[in-house]
Amino acid sequence: MKYLKILFLLVFVSVFGQDKVDNQLATYNFPKIKSSITMPVTIPLSEISNMINASVKELIYQDDSYTDNNNDQFKVKVWKTRPIRLVGGTNQNLLIEVPLKIWAEKGIGTLGVYTYQNTTFETVMSFNTTLNFKNNWTITTNTQPNGFRWVTKPVLDYGKIQIPITSLVEKSLKEQQEKFCKTIDQQMAAQLNFQKYAVMAWNTFSQPFNISEEYNTWLKVSPINVNITPLKFYANQINTNLGVDVYSETFTGSKPTASQTITSAPNFNFAANLSDKFSLQTTANIPFTEASTIARKTFLNKEFDIRDSKVKITDIRVYGIDDRIMIEAQTDGYIKGTSIISGIPVYDETKRKIVLSNTKFKLKTSNILHKTASVFFQGKITKMIEDEYGIPTQELEETSKKSIEEAFNKEYYKGLKMNGKVFNLKPTQILLSPTGITAVIDTNATLKLVLNGF
């Protein structure tokens, strides 16, 4: 895709896990989230110059007749000597310079007898082009002549007689400059029609993207509408901001159905200002098998004192019931039984862990004395779980940040490069399913599109 093929960026999330089968979470109906992706877009004027130079042939104009133009006895050929150059103006306009080499031949004589002499000279022709970006993805231009500058003036050399033909050449050049304005506008209109690229970009995003092969997780981004700020012209580039309102949906299991494709891109909206940052939500899944593994590494065979006796944790597992995480610990020693500490999972930004809040305690034991002593035991084990247990998210956050930035800093299509940076990424909501924990992750980032060689 060549220009403004807006790739609404994927968010790749790396997740914890050991065994692929154990880690596969059940299908969950994730919320459909409305969000916005806003990106500054830079269009180097060198790219438009390349486009114009490719469309303008080396030989621009040719007059091979002595007898046309009222028998002017004049022939001329005009070539482009160097690439056409564009410079950004201050009023949504482009200043265009066309360096030309001109060969001219003039006949001097009377009664049909002429002596011919030719000369070669150079000039730089200037144009002023205003651009109008229409909301149907097309650009119209209005090009006007802006005079020309002589590099070497035309003179016919007949030995002792040298005849300046500047006035004669200038008349012809002015006529051709008027015609060349129409050529520039025609070429601009043909080349700067972005409707088909908008359709291609829109339909590209109608296909869901796999963001985790391990957990068979899919991200589907559906664009709703596009907002664009007015073009701003600088010396060597054109800048604008592009805002895309989208629905992002996350699925687990089978690949979801693609959105309906379009054949014509909807008109975009003009906006005075758009932020250069965007927010997007995605998810990461931690199966209870992994949560149990973390708990075993933290607490298995751990001992603590109760009434001058020892209590040892011999096994521990983690599961979920409704909106609460259940930590079930088997203990031996002074208190032999099953302790269940439950709590609502929340994200602790300081610890960078998913921890438990609003904890509750329940002891299952056949020994009545143990039940009597449980008030002391409850305080000990509950505090230990609250202080020490947590599902670390630092690795998840750092790996996710790295994956997202790798996705942001790619050339997905020749000529369209993206540069992006994540400046904030953290879980904000913790959801439970029958088989695991789902962390909803808010991502704040910046993204820049750069066109190069389109």
Give the pLDDT confidence of 127-136 residue by residue, as tens digits: 999 988 888 8
* Residue 83 vs residue 402, higher pLDDT: 83
Picking from 283, 323, 348, 351, the residue whose alpha carbon sits closest to that of residue 15 is 283
Q: What is the mean pLDDT of residues 169-173?
A: 77
**pLDDT bucket at 23, cuts 50 / 70 / 90:** very low
Per residue in 354-373, pLDDT tens? 999 999 988 887 765 555 55
Q: What is the mean pLDDT of residues 88-102?
A: 86
How many CB atoms are closer than 10 A to CB 270? 11
pLDDT at position 402: 78
Picking from 141, 72, 137, 60, the residue whose alpha carbon sits closest to that of residue 101 is 60
Q: Calculate the average pLDDT of the chain.
A: 78
**pLDDT bucket at 114, cuts 50 / 70 / 90:** confident
**pLDDT bucket at 8, cuts 50 / 70 / 90:** very low
Cα 150 to the center of its chain, rounded Å? 45
Per residue in 416-452, pLDDT tens? 677 778 888 888 889 888 888 888 888 888 777 665 5
183 with 52: CB under 8 angstroms? no
Q: How far apart are CA 44 and CA 239, in angstroms?
A: 9
pLDDT at position 12: 24
Tell me the residue type at 106: K
- For residue 52, pLDDT over 80 is answered with no
- For residue 40, pLDDT over 70 is answered with yes
- For residue 106, pLDDT over 70 is answered with yes
11 with 402: CB under 8 angstroms? no
- Biggest CA pair distance of the chain: 137
What is the β-pairing status of strands 436-451 and 33-44?
parallel
Tell me the residue type at 186: Q
- Listed range (1-10, 75-84, 87-96) with the worst mean pLDDT: 1-10
Please name the residue that has the structure tokens 């409707």. Answer: 195
- For residue 99, pLDDT over 80 is answered with yes
pLDDT at position 143: 93
What's phi and psi for 15, nearest 5 deg? -130, 160
- The share of the chain scoring above pLDDT 70, in percent, equals 83
Q: 445 CB contacts (<8 Å, ≥6 apart)?
A: 277, 278, 280, 404, 408, 420, 421, 422, 423, 424
279 with 311: CB under 8 angstroms? no
**pLDDT bucket at 191, cuts 50 / 70 / 90:** confident
Cα-Cα-Cα-Cα dihedral sign, residues 356, 362, 364, 368:
positive
| Residues across the chain | 454
DSSP β-bridge partners for residue 196: none
Q: 56 CB contacts (<8 Å, ≥6 apart)?
A: 80, 84, 183, 187
pLDDT at position 26: 45
* Residue 330 vs residue 441, higher pLDDT: 330
Per residue in 368-392, pLDDT tens? 555 555 676 778 888 888 888 888 8
